[in-house]
Chains A and B, each alone.
Chain A
Amino acid sequence: MTRHLLSIDDVSAEEIQQLFATAAEMHDVQKREVKKLPALRGRTVINLFFEDSTRTRSSFEIAGKWLSADVINLSAKGSSASKGESLRDTVLTVTAMGVDGLVMRHSASGAAHQVAGWLDIPVVNAGDGTHEHPTQALLDGYTLQRQLGGPGSLEGKRIAIVGDLTHSRVFRSNVKSLTKLGASVVAVAPPTLMPAGVTDWAKADGFATSYHLDEVLPEADAVMMLRVQRERMSGGFFPTSREYTVGYGLTRQRLGMLREGAPILHPGPMNRGLEISPEAADAASSRILDQVSAGVAIRMSVLYHLLAGEESA
């Protein structure tokens, strides 16, 4: 594995499977009475969050603590630019306190890449703008693989990723990780929520696109619904919530179009009634809470691989 985890580009299919295998071991820790491994004892990890995120921050915090790292959460809400300090100065200052690893969330695409260039410690991208969210993609892949039958089970499976693709870092990371694992991805959205240049991009990276959810669902082995990021929508990307739900929501009626047992995923937080109906969110085939639990295991695995060092490996 490379020194940082900034993008799914940083890991090969084999390395993803290694991360999954370690995550599976870490997952078992969650069932223990004492949820603690000594792997990162004496190491300090900073969760530097320039953008709010309760679940991702908590997930990284728990992961670090269960590995016995000293975890410090720092919130730096608002861009450093707005405070007059450059991003470079902010991260150099924060990490100068003897930190061994940085987990960073930022509202700007590419921020983690830039920061990694300024630091000599491992950086984990915990979401950068509308660019990538690699640990989310890993936990999604891990969840799906476990559900569909273990290592290699994603090969040839058709996974639909549905919703606000333009603003989704989860989509950008997942399309990379799932295709690396051999899945056949189809990205579904109205034309206004398809990322710029997606036709060329899909051709180059080997995934499909569609505007028609009803045509895609019956063929899907799993469906991943994305949150409609209304806070990022300055213009009218679709006329009304009702119209969006009719066209692209995983409604109660559409549940019946899915193959039996096809897993339903959502990275959360959900807009119940908009992109996903309560019936779908709570369906027996919903894996949404499994994703949350897998998130800790995957983040433990990532922190372990990046930070444990030879003496602990």
Chain B
Amino acid sequence: MSLLIKGASVLGAAPTDVYVEGGAIREIGSLSADASADEVVDAAGLVLLPGLVDLHTHLRQPGREDAETVASGAAAAAAGGYTAVLAMANTSPVTDTAEAAVSVWELGREAGLADVFPVGAVTKGLAGEELAELSLMNRSRAGVKVFSDDGRCVSDPRVMRRALEYVKAFGGVISQHSQDPSLAPYGSACCHEGELSGRLGLPSWPGVAEEVIVARDVMLARHTGSRVHVAHASTAGTVEVLRWAKAQAEKDGSWAVTAEVTPHHLLLTTDLLAGYDPTFKVNPPLRPAEDVEALRAALADGTIDAVATDHAPHARQDKEHAFVDAAFGMLGLEEALSVVSTVMVSSGLLDWSGVARVMSTTPARIAGLEGHGRPIAVGEPANLTLADPAATYVVDRDRSLSLSRNNPWHDRKLTGRVVSTFLRGKKTYGE
């Protein structure tokens, strides 16, 4: 099986041809006009990127297959240009054993649309008390390297310390959902604390509830000489802490802190909650414009390392409750590249090489994925995404490949769109 991508702009550079065979890139350069392949793709005007990698996806299987399955989530991922996704552990039952992790990993292999890497829970049942079988999950065929209680914070500093220490043995990383539950109680705190939450009478989630955990965790990572990853950073204060922590980590050289931001925290602001539409209920909550600006700048200058979707599908009935009772979360896989293009590329904050860095190369490095986020070079796996940088479209949630429809981008105009996705040379999305 061979594939010829003709006239693509690799990371936004001058057009060239890319020849793929046996799942890997075999040749790059100007190939003769009559060069033959089993499949030829005319990529004139399109940008070629390494396949995108999502550090933060909720696939809901096992437990809530009505909202999403590994297969439907992988299809949505492919439509969003992703070739690898990390599936969060807060399924039912929780992914806190090797068997559970392997089960998710195998479902991903069966679907064959994106490589699905399970994230293991840090603590048993996400209860925040006893460490889960971190090492056994790592040793399993799923090869788990990223651990998170996402949806909940590992709020006990003693447990967090032990987790950071323990994963050092196999180069693991703890991805923390930073939410001090005393300051922002799980389940109830649902609106950024500020003037709007005061007016609306919604239980509030102050930015400091995130910042105190991020500050604590970087100190613990420094103390333990380990790696901590800040999931869905959402405030300017977090950016300040990260900036300081990264400078310290670079100086020390013995520990590391990385961070991700979601597409929705790069574009949407808390004022969308004024109409009590649960589509916009997410955790951490949408923040004010000044936080959004700080997050964009931090992504551009590398203080925030990666874009991660926090794709959180929910069945319709789970969102049709009163705002405080409705489920947290929004879809994200299919429009992530378009949002980053609209927010970061159109404004000049990132070029396409930068997009590849924050959406593929760096996420793959953080997660320890060897076959993803590689350079587009001869001999590398052909995990590739073709995008049309000029395409402008209005999002229609009913065209989604996800089983859910809680799409915050519905009816919104975005610029830049995924055209095709290739997993080891095989087209997983596109014409």
> Which A residues are within 8 Å of any B CB, using their own CB?
79-81, 86-89, 106, 108-111, 113-114, 128-132, 169, 172, 195-198, 200-201, 204, 234
Decide if B321 touches A86 in the complex (CB within 8 Å): yes
B206: A residues at CB distance < 8 A: 196
A201: B residues at CB distance < 8 A: 195, 198-199
Cα–Cα, bound, A109→B206 (Å): 18
A81: B residues at CB distance < 8 A: 321-322, 325-326
Which chain B residues numbered 286 to 337 have a C-beta less than 8 Å away from chain A?
Answer: 317-318, 320-326
B276: A residues at CB distance < 8 A: 109-111, 113-114
B349 interface contact, C-beta 8 A? no
Decide if B322 touches A200 in the complex (CB within 8 Å): no
B196 interface contact, C-beta 8 A? yes
Decide if A80 touches B324 in the complex (CB within 8 Å): no
Decide if A80 touches B201 in the complex (CB within 8 Å): no
Given A86-B317, A86-B320, A108-B325, A197 and B196 contact (CB-CB distance below 8 Å) = yes
**Closest partner residue, chain B, to A197 (CB atom):** B195
A-B contact pairs, 13 of them (CB 8 A): A79-B322, A81-B325, A87-B325, A88-B317, A109-B202, A109-B322, A110-B201, A110-B323, A131-B200, A131-B202, A132-B201, A195-B201, A234-B185
Decide if B323 touches A196 in the complex (CB within 8 Å): no
Decide if A80 touches B321 in the complex (CB within 8 Å): yes
Interface 1/0s, chain B 180-198, versus A by CB < 8 A?
A: 0000010000000111111
B322: A residues at CB distance < 8 A: 79, 81, 87, 106, 108-111, 114, 129
Decide if B325 touches A129 in the complex (CB within 8 Å): no
Q: Which of B198, B278, B321, B324 contacts A196 (CB 8 A)?
A: B198
A86: B residues at CB distance < 8 A: 317-318, 320-321
Known A108-B322, A197-B197; further 13 A-B contacts with Cβ < 8 A: A80-B321, A86-B320, A88-B317, A108-B323, A110-B202, A130-B201, A131-B200, A131-B201, A196-B206, A197-B195, A200-B195, A201-B195, A204-B195
B179 interface contact, C-beta 8 A? no
Given A131-B200, A196-B194, A200-B195, A89 and B323 contact (CB-CB distance below 8 Å) = no
Decide if B195 touches A109 in the complex (CB within 8 Å): no
* Size of interface on B: residues with Cβ below 8 Å to A: 25
Closest 3 CB pairs of A and B: A197-B195, A110-B276, A108-B322
**Closest partner residue, chain B, to A115 (CB atom):** B322
B275 interface contact, C-beta 8 A? yes
Cα–Cα, bound, A28→B81 (Å): 70
Given A79-B321, A80-B321, A114-B322, A109 and B200 contact (CB-CB distance below 8 Å) = yes
B341: A residues at CB distance < 8 A: none
> Which B residues are within 8 Å of any A CB, using their own CB?
185, 193-202, 204, 206, 275-276, 278, 317-318, 320-326
B323: A residues at CB distance < 8 A: 108-111, 114
Q: Give, as a whole number of angstroms, the nearest-CB distance from A56 to chain B.
A: 17
A172: B residues at CB distance < 8 A: 199, 201
A234: B residues at CB distance < 8 A: 185
A197: B residues at CB distance < 8 A: 193-199
Q: Give, as a whole number of angstroms, the nearest-CB distance from B226 to chain A.
A: 33
**Closest partner residue, chain A, to B323 (CB atom):** A110
Given A87-B325, A108-B324, A111-B322, A196 and B317 contact (CB-CB distance below 8 Å) = no
Q: Give, as a whole number of angstroms, the nearest-CB distance from B193 to chain A.
A: 5
Q: Which of B185, B278, B320, B324 contacts A129 (CB 8 A)?
A: B324
Q: Give, as a whole number of angstroms, the nearest-CB distance from A110 to chain B.
A: 3
**Closest partner residue, chain B, to A165 (CB atom):** B198
Q: Give, as a whole number of angstroms, the nearest-CB distance from A102 to chain B.
A: 15
Decide if A196 touches B195 in the complex (CB within 8 Å): yes
A130: B residues at CB distance < 8 A: 201-202
B201: A residues at CB distance < 8 A: 109-110, 128-132, 169, 172, 195
Cα–Cα, bound, A197→B271 (Å): 14
Q: Give, as a whole number of angstroms, the nearest-CB distance from A148 to chain B.
A: 27
Q: Which of A87, A131, A200, A204 contacts B320 (CB 8 A)?
A: A87
A131: B residues at CB distance < 8 A: 200-202
A87: B residues at CB distance < 8 A: 320-322, 325
Decide if B195 touches A89 in the complex (CB within 8 Å): no
A110: B residues at CB distance < 8 A: 200-202, 276, 322-324
**Closest partner residue, chain A, to B193 (CB atom):** A196
Decide if B321 touches A198 in the complex (CB within 8 Å): no
Cα–Cα, bound, A141→B364 (Å): 62
Q: Which of A106, A113, A200 contacts B275 (CB 8 A)?
A: A113
Decide if A89 touches B198 in the complex (CB within 8 Å): no
Q: Give, as a whole number of angstroms, the nearest-CB distance from A187 to chain B.
A: 11
Cα–Cα, bound, A86→B319 (Å): 8
**Closest partner residue, chain B, to A172 (CB atom):** B201
Q: Give, as a whole number of angstroms, the nearest-CB distance from A160 to chain B.
A: 19
Q: Which of B198, B318, B320, B325 contacts A198 (CB 8 A)?
A: B198
Q: Give, as a whole number of angstroms, the nearest-CB distance from B391 to chain A.
A: 32
Cα–Cα, bound, A234→B188 (Å): 12
Cα–Cα, bound, A301→B193 (Å): 36
Q: Give, as a whole number of angstroms, the nearest-CB distance from A249 to chain B.
A: 24
**Closest partner residue, chain B, to A80 (CB atom):** B321
Q: Give, as a whole number of angstroms, the nearest-CB distance from A38 to chain B.
A: 36
B197: A residues at CB distance < 8 A: 195-197
Cα–Cα, bound, A276→B116 (Å): 62
Q: Give, as a whole number of angstroms, the nearest-CB distance from A232 to chain B.
A: 10
Q: Give, as a whole number of angstroms, the nearest-CB distance from A29 to chain B.
A: 34
**Closest partner residue, chain A, to B322 (CB atom):** A108
A195: B residues at CB distance < 8 A: 197-199, 201
Cα–Cα, bound, A169→B201 (Å): 8
B185: A residues at CB distance < 8 A: 234
